[in-house]
Every structure is written in C-alpha cells, then in structure tokens.
C-alpha cells in the first residue's frame, strides 16, 4: 500500500524536501504565497498549489491522494504572533484570531481523515489554548498523539533552533525518532559554511549569486571589525556603542551585532538573518553578515537549492522571510523517517 503526503502551508519546501529525502512521496504542497512556487517546484517532485487553506475545499486536497494510499497530512501553520508571514495571510482575508489557521488545519484533518498527521510550529504554541483545542479534535477522531519541543541540533540542523513537533496516527502509537546527534557531534557553523568562498560586505560570489552579503555602513564595518566570535557589543570602543546599549534596558541584548562561533551551532536563523544588527549574524571571520546562501545552509537546505529563477533579482527581504520561516530540511527528514518506521512497524504486525 503506497503512502502519499500533502504539505499544507508548504512555503519554499523545507518540510517537503526533508520528507522526500526520507523516502516519502509528497504529492502536493499548498501555500497562499505565489513567490514560493519556483523554489518549491524546482527542488521537489511535487506540485505547488497556490491557495488559501481557509477557503480551499477539503475535496480539493483529497484528490491528491491515490486510491488506497495511506494518507499523510502535514503542515507548518504560520502562527508566529505578529510575524510578517502571518500578516501576509491576514491581508488575504484573515482578520480574526491569529491562531485561526490551526483551526483550519484541524477542520481539514476532520474532513480528510488521514491516517497520519504531522504539525511543526513555534514552541510558544504549546502554551496557547488553540493547541489544546487542536489535540482535542485529534483525540475525538481516535488519533494517538505524540508531541514535544525539539532541539534541532539533535537532528542534524546546525543551529540552536527549538520547534514544537506533533505526530498523530490512527494506526497506533507514534513518536519522533530518537536524537541522531549529541552535543559532541552537533553540526556547527564551520561544518556547514566553512568551505564557501570568502566575500566582502555588499558583494556576491561569482560562483553563486545567492552567496551574497548585505552592504555595511562605515560605522557597522568598524563595529564588526571589533567583534569577536561569541562576543558582544561590549567588546567595542565606547565611541561605537549605540546609545540604547548604554542604557540599563539595553544591557539584556548582548547578541545583537554579534559574530557567530565557528565551532558551535549557529543561533536561530530568523527572517532577518542577513542583517548584521538583527542578532548574532556576523560571519565568524569575514567582516560581514551572513549571506543568503549561508542562512539557507544553516537551515539545512542543500547547497544547490534553487530559490530564484536564473536572472531574477535577488530580494534579500523576501528570501529572508522564505528561508527563516521554513521548516529545517533535516528536521523534516527526521519527521519523515519517523513516519516511515511507524508505517513499517504496523505492516509487520
């Protein structure tokens, strides 16, 4: 019996790509943002469907599952409070509760009745009533549920990202596979981006135009020159410090304008990772912020993942949102392996 997956809120395909690497067949990815189409379809063997999940009929999703297949429905619902991604959905009709997309996900599960469900999200969701409501729907339908806050380095993601992962199955107990890495073997910044050719701030590599870094102002160039890996803005000359840093309230933000350390996993890659002042996103050695390609690699996308059509402009803000909001590929792969093993165990019983 074949297994078929549909990925809701698929974005540029981080989860889909990980599931495909695990051996699962993804039939389609659905997202409201048309700018995700090129990256999704170019790198994955699945169709991209531009649609609003809140308005898309469940029967339209059902048609992607071959007759007799084990149905898997997955999704990373964009629930980050006040995030640009969430605001984009609101502009397309969403005006109420910021968590309502998760209720839409639950409605689709209720209509489609997939054998297996997976949901990945921000850890803060676990403290919201909507998460309890989501689980209640699954329990009433007979699903066995597992969920936890997952530390991504445990699964080969070279960044200190934590995510909520939920797995549910009508076939029996299910869980995420055990961690595949330990603190001694975590992939670090050097492992991930150490071999990329050096570039200057405001420049791009001739070998890969996505290996491009944002321009730095003269004062920020002086600041990063005085920054050391793992250090803080406190290492700078007094004349370079921002006025907000000199206030008592600014003393609790030591990571902004910081350099990453070669031999540790990167900090969480946000949607603004390409900006030196937005976190500890300074390159460990070169006087610049992370390039777009480096941010993608630290999200465990393959080094050759195509994000824009050849010759198209590279818009850092848009790519930052796409990459920062993506499910890390290697976490997606771990989810896929977990589903594969779960199905295999049920077939042998």
Q: What is the distance in angstroms between the CA of the first residue and the CA of the last residue of the chain?
A: 15
- C-alpha closest to that of 262 among 192, 324, 180: 192
What is d(CA 148, CA 150) in angstroms, rounded to the nearest whole number?
A: 6
Strand order in the sheet with 25-31: 47-50, 25-31, 3-8, 70-75, 116-121, 162-169, 144-151
Both structure tokens of 253: 């933000």
- C-alpha closest to that of 115 among 1, 247, 213, 272: 1
Burial class (CB in 10 A: 0-12, 13-18, 19+), 163: buried
| Count of Cβ atoms closer than 10 Å to residue 194 Cβ | 11
What is d(CA 94, CA 158) in angstroms, rounded to the nearest whole number?
A: 34
**Furthest C-alpha separation in the chain:** 70
Which H/E stretch holds residue 87? Answer: helix 84-91
Both structure tokens of 10: 């698929």
Tell me the residue ranges of DSSP E strands in the chain: 3-8, 25-31, 47-50, 70-75, 116-121, 144-151, 162-169
Which of 79, 152, 212, 244 is the catalytic position?
79
Q: Is 79 a catalytic residue?
A: yes
Known catalytic residues are 79
């Amino acid at each position: 019996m074949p297994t078929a997956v549909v990925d809701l809120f698929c974005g540029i395909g981080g989860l889909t790509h990980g599931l495909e690497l695990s051996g699962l067949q993804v039939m389609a990815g659905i997202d409201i943002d048309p700018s995700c189409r090129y990256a999704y379809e170019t790198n994955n063997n699945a169709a991209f469907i531009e649609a609003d999940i809140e308005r898309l009929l469940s029967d339209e999703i059902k048609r992607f599952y071959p007759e007799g297949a084990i149905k898997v429905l997955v999704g990373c619902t964009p629930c980050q409070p006040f995030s640009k991604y969430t605001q984009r959905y609101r502009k397309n009709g969403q005006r109420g509760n910021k968590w309502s997309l998760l209720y839409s996900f639950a409605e689709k599960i209720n209509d489609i009745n997939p054998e297996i469900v997976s949901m990945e999200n921000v850890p803060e969701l676990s403290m919201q009533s909507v998460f309890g409501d989501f689980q209640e729907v699954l329990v009433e339908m007979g699903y066995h549920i597992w969920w936890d806050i997952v530390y991504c380095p445990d699964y080969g993601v070279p960044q200190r990202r934590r995510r909520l992962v939920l797995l549910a199955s009508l076939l029996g107990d299910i869980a995420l596979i055990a961690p595949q890495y330990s603190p001694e073997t975590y992939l670090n910044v050097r492992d991930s981006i150490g071999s990329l050719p050096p570039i200057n701030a405001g420049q791009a590599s001739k070998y890969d135009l996505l290996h491009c870094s944002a321009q730095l102002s003269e004062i920020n160039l002086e600041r990063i020159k005085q920054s050391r890996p793992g250090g803080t803005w406190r290492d700078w000359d007094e004349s370079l410090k921002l006025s907000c840093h000199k206030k008592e309230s600014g003393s609790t933000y030591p990571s902004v304008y910081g350099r990453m350390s070669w031999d540790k996993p990167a900090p969480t890659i946000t949607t603004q990772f390409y900006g030196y002042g937005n976190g500890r996103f300074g390159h460990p050695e070169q006087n610049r912020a992370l390039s777009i390609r480096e941010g993608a690699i630290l999200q465990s996308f393959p080094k050759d993942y195509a994000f824009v059509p050849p010759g198209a402009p590279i818009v850092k803000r848009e790519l930052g949102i796409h990459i920062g909001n993506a499910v890390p590929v290697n976490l997606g792969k771990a989810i896929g392996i977990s589903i594969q093993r779960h199905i295999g165990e049920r077939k042998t019983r």
